[in-house]
Structure 1
Amino acid sequence: MEKIKTDLLVIGGGSGGLSVAAGAAQMGASVVLLEGHKMGGDCLNYGCVPSKALLSEAKAAFAKGRAPAKAYEAAKDHVRAVINTIAPHDSVERFEGLGVRVIEAYGTFTGAETVQAGDYEISARRIVIATGSSPLVPPIPGLESVPYETNETIFELRERPERLLIIGGGPIGMEMAQAHQRLGSQVTVIEGAKALGKDDPEAATVLIERLRNEGIVIEEDALAAEIRGEAGAIEVEAKDGRIFKGTHLLMAVGRKANTDKLNLEAAGIEPTKTGIKVDASLKTTNRRVYAIGDVAGGMQFTHVAGYHAGIVIRSALFGLPAKAKHSHIPWATYTAPELAQVGLTEAGARAQHGDKLEVVRFEYAGNDRAIAEGQTTGFIKVMIVKGRPVGATIVGHQAGELINTWALALANNMKMSQIAAMVAPYPTIGEINKRVAGAYFSPRLFESKMIKRVVSAVQRFLP
């Protein structure tokens, strides 16, 4: 067995691990990267990239009317082409070119500072666990004998499902529901609680109504109790007796951290129910080992893994104090309309700030560009405490783009006056951000008796 010593060992070649490895190698550290499956991880191969590519093709098909049978195959060809275009950026060859030693094998801890991967034993000054997550498949009676898809298999499906059942009404379930409905499938979403239950309920309602108007059946409070049937004839029975029939089944109920192969106990690393226990610096209970991204057990987004990578680089390479915070991390569901959030929702802000909270909103119907493009469904609302935003909710066209402004504001503790000072080009959807800031200041300016008295006094003295 070959023994390797290195400054930094990264376990996992997904977005977070690749960011750490690339940054550390280019800054002069010796780096070993382990990846036992596919470089690029879930995001490139089974998640963000293929799902957005499929949604793009579905949008185009929807604009032309009902999708022909071959539209589904063409959409899958597009998905594969997009993955193949991006893949070289995440390839073994590229990272070896950056100076990273890439070992294509899974890593298993054999001690506090050592990991075995294939025929190699690696010891490192610092280790980063970036193994990501996998689809969670709950133990529903009968599921073990029925064929089903997950996000790791659905993008390889070539034949369009005639009637697709989706268990799970979160972002993944809703994105796949709209994509498949627009590509000609009949889709039923089966949700055990409330669809999009982690989002602002007012905003979620706007999106759910649109999906239902497109023909998607969304069944809430329908906890799956039993699954039966065979390929082409599947039934899901809810706890309350409702029965849903379809030709295909997609499981989209959540994700679980990938820790099974790591042998965490050998390294003195404490696991949790959702992943690995970390402190604010993303260090595990073994102070030489970090955990980032999905496996850290928090927000499961690609951009969070990238953010964590920056924290680790500052800490592990430069020895600088660096702590992760998540109050400024945005997220989005890329349906049409899109749904985006950063910071506190209205309910969360009211619970935390009480009477100090102000909520301002602006409707898409008041935006000239939205009117011109027929995209008037939706709204933005911003939660404000003492003149500073603490959260923003957007549902509507390009919500995932618009939320960037508010993520910037929260990350830098900006005031609403700074947002109001921005000049947006006319006509753009982005004016919505400025207009909602105007909605905050308008009552203070136009309804203030003091302001009116000051203006009246000044006018008397002007020449």
Structure 2
Amino acid sequence: MQTIKTDLCVIGAGSGGLSVAAGAAQMGVKVVLIEKGEMGGDCLNYGCVPSKALIAAAHRAHEMTTGAPFGIANEVPRVDYAAVKDHVASTIARIAPMDSQERFEGFGIEVIRAHGRFVSPTEVEAGGKRITARRFVLATGSSPMAPPIPGLSDVPFLTNESIWELRDRPSHLLVIGGGPIGLEMAQAHRRLGCEVTVVEAGAALGREDPEMAAIVLEQLRSEGVRILENVSVSAVRPGIELDAGDETLRGSHLLVAAGRKPNTDGLGLDVAGIEPARHGVQVDSGLRTTNRRVYAIGDIAGGGFTHVAGYHAGLVVRSALFALPAKLRPQILPRATYTAPELAQVGLTEAEARVKYGEKLEVYRLAHDHNDRAIAQRATQGLLKLMVVKGRPVGVSIAGAQAGELIGSWALALSANLKMSAIAGAVMPYPTVGELNKRLAGTYFSPRLFENETVKKVTRLVQRWLP
């Protein structure tokens, strides 16, 4: 068996692992990268990229049916589902070279396309090679989880990995799971001409602010997506039949989007002295596992989003390469669901903030219909909610057009610990949806300025002395 000695060994070539490997190699560090599956991981091949490509196609179809308010005749789109999937595939193909083995080998990285497992606390075996490294990074991601529903294993079902292979449009897509993946796929397929029913055992979008989730769910239902909440699937039968609460649902295809499981099987964690956790492996605030030589990033460290894996990667590069302090700041990490309207969050939700801050918390709301650009585009369905404590934002929730873009400014504000005055003082081009952020910040100052009698008295006094 060939033995390789290296500075850094990264297991997993998804977004987080690739970021660590590229950053380290370009700093002159010797790197070995191990990947048993596709380069680019879930995000490129099964998650973020293909789903957004499908959503874009569905958006085009939907626009054809909703032009009348703009003076454009509504038309029923003729959807070629196979061609839509060709669009998805071409999108992946265009991005794939950035994540390719050849590109990373060009950085001087040794790429091993095989399963990697620890054989000691300081050694990993992969592809007939034994790698000894000063530091290891686990970036193995997660996979779709099939819930323990009687009969599910006996019927063909789709996941976010296998749905991209489907070439024939479903006539009726049944979806188990009302989280972001389930609802994004539900709306996209409904707009592409499928009948769609979603079954969720709890509240749909249950992690999000209920007020914001309601805006999204109302729109999906108005488009014809049937969403059953607080309904459990008790059995699945051949022919795609689900026993859901008091009724039997029949569909042509079944998509299971009921959670994910960490990819930790066969890694030899016990041999390496790495303690497991529900989300994957235990890490400290600097993303080190219980084996001090080993870091974990992304989904198996509780990340859950591609951009979080990238954030984790930056922390690990800082710590492992430069021995600089690096500490997780989960409160600055945004998330977004790409339905229409979109839903985005950074920091604390209103409920979380009330528990943490009690009477110190101030909450401000602003509807999208206060924005001229949104009015011009007839995209006024939406709401922004701001949580403030002692003049600084602690959380923002947004449901509406471009919520994923709008949340970025608030992510910066939380990351930089900005005061509300800094946000309100920013100048935005007119007319843009981005003006909503400035106006939301302005709602914090309005009662302090315009409803304050002391301020009014001082203003009148100044006016008397002005030349």
Q: TM-score normalized by structure 1? A: 0.98
Partner of 1:347: 351
- 1:338 alignment partner, one of 339, 342, 349: 342
Q: Displacement, 1:68?
A: 5.0
Partner of 2:68: none
Change (3 A) 1:67 1:95: farther
Partner of 1:209: 218
Structure 2: how far apart are the matches of 1:115 and 1:67?
Answer: 56
**Between the two proteins, what is the percent identity of the paired residues?**
62
Partner of 2:69: none
Q: Displacement, 1:67?
A: 6.0
Where in structure 1 are there 5+ consecutive unaligned residues?
none
Q: Does 1:197 align with 2:206?
A: yes
- 1:291 alignment partner, one of 272, 280, 296: 296
Structure 2: how far apart are the matches of 1:228 and 1:47?
Answer: 28
Counting only pairs closer than 5 Å after superposition, residues 408-447 of structure 1 correspond to structure 2 as 408-447=412-451
Listed one character per residue, the Cα deviations across residues 325-375 of structure 1 (whole Å, up to 9, x for unaligned) are 210100000011000000000111111101000011111101000000000
Listed one character per residue, the Cα deviations across residues 91-134 of structure 1 (whole Å, up to 9, x for unaligned) are 00000001111000110100001000011000000000000000
Q: Does 1:55 align with 2:52?
A: no
- 2:81 alignment partner, one of 72, 77, 89: 72
- 1:376 alignment partner, one of 376, 380, 384: 380
Partner of 2:250: 245
* SS of residue matched to 2:159: coil
Structure 1: how far apart are the matches of 2:26 and 2:279?
Answer: 32
Counting only pairs closer than 5 Å after superposition, residues 151-170 of structure 1 correspond to structure 2 as 151-170=160-179
Kindly provide the amino acid, as one letter, of the partner of residue 217 in structure 1.
R
Q: Is the 8 A contact 2:396 2:407 kept in 1?
A: yes
Q: Is the 8 A contact 1:278 1:284 kept in 2?
A: yes
Listed one character per residue, the Cα deviations across residues 281-330 of structure 1 (whole Å, up to 9, x for unaligned) are 1000000000000011x230000100000110011111111111210100
Q: Displacement, 1:70?
A: 4.2
Partner of 2:6: 6
Where in structure 2 are there 5+ consecutive unaligned residues?
66-74
Q: Displacement, 1:171?
A: 0.3
Structure 2: how far apart are the matches of 1:235 and 1:220?
Answer: 18
Of stretches 453-462 and 124-133 in structure 1, the one that deviates more from structure 2 is 453-462
Structure 2: how far apart are the matches of 1:274 and 1:309?
Answer: 18
Kindly provide the amino acid, as one letter, of the partner of residue 394 in structure 1.
I
Q: Displacement, 1:63?
A: 1.1
Partner of 1:30: 30
Partner of 1:119: 128
Structure 2: how far apart are the matches of 1:346 and 1:305?
Answer: 26
Q: Displacement, 1:224?
A: 1.1
Kindly provide the amino acid, as one letter, of the partner of residue 274 in structure 2.
I
Q: Is the 8 A contact 2:79 2:192 kept in 1?
A: no
Q: Is the 8 A contact 1:365 1:376 kept in 2?
A: yes
Q: Does 1:184 align with 2:193?
A: yes
Partner of 2:70: none
Q: Does 1:272 align with 2:277?
A: yes
Q: Is the 8 A contact 1:164 1:248 kept in 2?
A: yes
Structure 2: how far apart are the matches of 1:85 and 1:147?
Answer: 30
Q: TM-score normalized by structure 2? A: 0.97
Number of residues paired by the alignment? 458
* SS of residue matched to 2:148: coil
* SS of residue matched to 1:32: strand
Listed one character per residue, the Cα deviations across residues 194-253 of structure 1 (whole Å, up to 9, x for unaligned) are 0000000000000000000000000001111100023xxx11112x33221111000001
Q: Is the 8 A contact 1:222 1:242 kept in 2?
A: no
Q: Is the 8 A contact 2:348 2:395 kept in 1?
A: yes
Q: Displacement, 1:174?
A: 0.5
Structure 1: how far apart are the matches of 2:398 and 2:76?
Answer: 29
Q: Does 1:315 align with 2:319?
A: yes
Structure 1: how far apart are the matches of 2:177 and 2:318?
Answer: 38
Structure 1: how far apart are the matches of 2:77 and 2:129?
Answer: 52
Structure 1: how far apart are the matches of 2:189 and 2:432?
Answer: 30
Partner of 1:128: 137
Kindly provide the amino acid, as one letter, of the partner of residue 363 in structure 1.
A
Of stretches 71-80 and 36-45 in structure 1, the one that deviates more from structure 2 is 71-80
Partner of 2:111: 102
